Amino acid sequence: MTLGALASSYTAASAAPGSATSADTAQIARGAYLAKAADCAGCHTAAPRVVRPGTAPIPAAPFAGGLGMASPFGTINSSNITPDPQAGIGLYSYDDFAHALRDGVARGGKRLYPAMPYPSFAKIDDDDMHALYAYFMHGVRPVATPAPPTRLPFPFNQRWALMFWDWAFVPGERFKPEAGRDAQWNRGAYLVQSLGHCGACHTPRGPAYEERGYTEASPLYLTGGTNDHWFAPNLTADTGSGLGRSSAEDIAAFLKHGHGGGLVTFGSMVQVVEDSTQYLDDADLAAIATYLKSLPPRAQSGHFNAGSRGALQSVEALKTGELERPGAGIYATYCARCHQSDGAGVPQKYPRLAGNPAVLAPQTTSLVRLLVEGGGSPNTDGGPEPRKMPAFADKLTDSELAHVLTFIRNTWGNAAEPVTTRDVSAVRHALHK
Ligand code: HEC
Ligand code: HEC
Ligand code: HEC
């Protein structure tokens, strides 16, 4: 059956529910998988609601929208993308759907804010787009509740003006396989650049909020970016704060269960692992890891040297309690019981801090935010039991937080810029914590 014939058979299936053929069923299932790879649910599902304090939160209907997303311009609410004809996208034709995903233009001509990652989704190929459409029309339960509208202040409420932004910044091209690379590399590049939209967080943004590149041909692509006070680190082969010391196996394990090579995911990456990457099959995870490991080192920052004299001395000092450096005492009191005196953490439970690229990152927003708010490791199918990292907002002052962060960034062979009290205060002020 050709794609065109398949597409028209969905129309038939929607006219007469229950008439889906097995070819449709297979395609709908593939669409469901691709929707996981693209994390459509992560952005298009509202947070669980706590109805009465002390009772379990009630999960929101999948894909019904209404998740508020922080942007520099204000909060943008995601749309209801269930197949309900009024509240959702039930009236979308295949072309409307592809136009929204690739060009950021909703049915009826409304320009979408780039909080919807259409600059990445432009690269989704036609087969995958058809499978996604089949899934959203026939595999998702319609929800008749409209998502709350987005109200940004002038001039950001002028959606038509996004046309100029799109012209200036969105290449809008389909993914083109690299001829000199094998199928696995190309599969990884495709997943990272299109569905996975990893660059939406991991690529730095320019003054107009545009991502500084959409492929490895751009020198800043995947070199680290900050969104909503989480810094998503450098994914190139930088041996300090990048993936230079992580193996492809570690990266695949990290994406599968949020634990890999002693690192544990935190911050906004927890949701990416829980909602999206844990569902990818082993071949796709290996392809992503292969692609990431092929990126040449860029934006070098931070160092790690496990065997250095300083590294051995600091472990000795923590063990004997001869703590001279500010921050060492705080670490011994508040952190060592989980992360250990030698900074090695506990496998499958607590991350190692020695040589941890996130600890060595040039931007310390994430570290401050994690210490202030605390965190929790991801809950995945078949993964390690989730563990909590306590919040220190009420226990440690800004200068104590700065000291302990500077300490972990310069102990056990770690070497990175100190964190100042002002850095901490700025993040705390922005978070109101
Ligand atoms: C990073 C967050 C994010 C992800 C991932 C995401 N979306 Fe969106 N999407 C949004 C936001 C936010 C809007 C609303 C933008 C606006 O109002 O301008 C939106 C709007 C849309 C619309 C327009 C609906 C309308 O008529 O208003 C469609 C269709 C859509 N998304 C489909 C998808 C699909 C399908 C996927 C997965 C392949 C997906 N989105 C993944 C954030 C996201
Ligand atoms: C919503 C934002 C967001 C998206 C989308 C995202 N990441 Fe992340 N990622 C982060 C943040 C924040 C961190 C830092 C916290 C941590 O290490 O878990 C991170 C960390 C990582 C790390 C660990 C890096 C290190 O050196 O410790 C890897 C690997 C990674 N992401 C891969 C990916 C891949 C592959 C994708 C796309 C499939 C992706 N990320 C999409 C936010 C994101
Ligand atoms: C009760 C155990 C516990 C204590 C005490 C604790 N942590 Fe953590 N820490 C964790 C867990 C669990 C994570 C993973 C958090 C997540 O996934 O959100 C974590 C993550 C981190 C990370 C991110 C590294 C990564 O790869 O995930 C840093 C940095 C960190 N902790 C520093 C500290 C510092 C500094 C202190 C003391 C002020 C401290 N922690 C106290 C359990 C703890």
12, 153: one domain: yes
> How confident is the model at residue 365, as a pLDDT?
96
112, 62: one domain: yes
What ligand has the least distance to the C-alpha of 198? 2
> How confident is the model at residue 10, as a pLDDT?
39
Q: Is 138 annotated as a binding residue?
A: no
393 contact partners, CB below 8 Å, separation of at least 6: 372, 373, 428, 433
315, 418: one domain: yes
pLDDT tens-digit series, residues 243-274: 999 999 999 999 999 999 999 999 999 999 99
188, 156: one domain: no
Closest ligand 2 atom to 42 CA: 1
Per-residue tokens: 132: 């996604």
328, 374: one domain: yes
Instruction: Dump the DSSP string for 389-415.
Output: E---TTTS-HHHHHHHHHHHTTSTTEE
Q: Tell me the C-alpha distance between 405 and 370, whole Å.
A: 11
> How confident is the model at residue 20, as a pLDDT?
59
323, 358: one domain: yes
CA distances from 118 to 87, 170, 377, 385 (A): 21, 9, 29, 35
Is 298 among the domain residues?
A: no
**φ, ψ dihedrals at 426, nearest 5°:** -60, -45
Under-50 pLDDT residues of the chain: 1-18
Is 353 among the domain residues?
A: yes
Closest ligand 2 atom to 198 CA: 37
Instruction: Quote the number of domains for the chain.
Output: 3
Would you give the DSSP letter of residue 65? B
165, 269: one domain: no
337, 360, 370, 373, best to mutate for ligand 3 pocket (most atoms within 8 Å of CB): 370
Q: Is 40 annotated as a binding residue?
A: yes
187, 264: one domain: yes
Q: Is 130 annotated as a binding residue?
A: no
In contact, 150 and 77? CB cutoff 8 Å:
yes
Q: What is the domain range of residue 214?
A: 183-293
- Ligand 2 site residues (CB inside 6 A) read 192, 196-198, 200-202, 230, 232-233, 235, 243, 251, 254-255, 263, 265-269, 272, 277, 288, 357-358, 366
276, 213: one domain: yes
> How confident is the model at residue 2, as a pLDDT?
38
